[in-house]
Every structure is written in structure tokens, then in C-alpha cells.
Amino acid sequence: MKKMIGILGGMGPEATVYFFNLIVKHTAASKDRDHIKVLIWNDPTIPPRTDAILGLGPSPLPRLLAGVKVLEQGGAGLIVMPCITAHYFAAEIAARSKVPFIDLLEESLRTAKKRIPGLVKAGLIASTGTVESRLFHKPFEKSGIEILTPKPAEQRAVMEAIFGENGIKAGVTTGRPRTAILRLARGLIGRGAEAVIAGCTEVPLVLRESDLAVPLIEPMRIGALACIRKAGYRIRE
């Protein structure tokens, strides 16, 4: 049975567009009618997730649940949230959603174990909220995969590259933000990372696997492929 995909987006808008584009590009379709029905709720006014996790701002959960309700009422048969940091609230969202919730972290771990047998250390480039809340540490370390994160000064550089005035969220995906993220990824590899996790949905906007000497674990792409399958469609080979 085919299902409509509901995208709980806006965090940020460009990451939401990127995720939708991944679904379109990877669906086995030769004409319009072959593509998946997708309903996007793009709410850029959802409170900052990192601020909430660090106790510096209001919880985004009420607005996230309001978005889930809109998607359910619109006919979505499954819901996905292309914001990694917001997965801090994933358990509560999944528990209160009437349709299946696709967890990008669970899908990423499953894919990483299958794609990179024997993986022991993975570097993580993510928001401070994701790092501090250990969103990736918990499931990956339970599976025997150590998570390496940037040092404090390097983590500040990650946040500047993503959230800064001329950062990725401001629409800048070349120059300084890309250079900074690439430098940090290669630094993690130098410390022993056998793969790098694009742990913030803005990271794959500037970092590609061809940039690295190790595999790039990209939750956005992994999640898009999972959505295609779970919606009852075929993936383009």
C-alpha cells in the first residue's frame, strides 16, 4: 500500500528543500505520476532546538506536535523530520503521532552497520545541542561504535559555520563555511575516525563523500531512501 510522506520541516528551510529533493531524485520514476505524494509543513518559526536542549530557550515540542497534526490531517501516511537536533524530542513525537515516525538516527545506525562492517570509530559534525545531548553517542556506542566529536574550540567553529551571520543557514554553502566543515571533518579522520557522520542537516549542503578519505554517513540521504521504501515505492538504482 502506497503512502504519502509528511515532512516536518522548516529547521531550516534549505535543509527541508534538500531532503525533498533527495526523495525526488532517488525515486524510481519515469514520469510525474510515478513520484510519491509528499506533504511538507515548513515552519521556520519553530524555536531553536539547541537553545531548548541547553536550557536557553523555549521547547520546540508544542510547535513540532502542531506540525505533526497538520501532516496527519493532510493525509500523511508516515512522518519524517529533516532536523537532527530536533530528534532530541523524537520519542515524544513518535509516541503522539498517529502514523509511523521515521527516526533518522535509527536509520543511520542500521545503514552504517550494514555498509561499514567492523566500524569502530565515527567522527560527528553536528550542532552543540546534538553533541551535548549525545543523540548519536547513545545508539552508536550501544552498538560498539565510538563517537569522536570536535574539541570545544572546534565545536564553536562548527556552530559559526552553520549558524553564523555568513553561515550555511544564511544560505552560504561555499567559501568559509565549507572550508571550516571540511577542515573539521579531516581533523576527526586524523584522530582515527573511520567514517564521518553529517550530524546536522545543514552539513551535507557543504560536505560530500568525495571530499573525504572515509565514508560519509549522511542521515538525510539515508532517511530519504528509508521514506521511499516505507512509502511503498522503489529506489532509483
Catalytic residues: 83, 200
The helix-helix angle for 219-230 and 104-115 (nearest 10°) equals 100
* Cell numbers representing residue 166 in the block: 555568513
The helix-helix angle for 13-26 and 219-230 (nearest 10°) equals 50
Contact yes or no for 23/96 (Cβ under 8 A): no
Angle at 116 between CA 110 and CA 118, to 5 degrees: 100
Smallest CA-to-CA distance from 148 within 102, 182, 104, 190 is with 190
3-state class (DSSP) for residue 163: helix
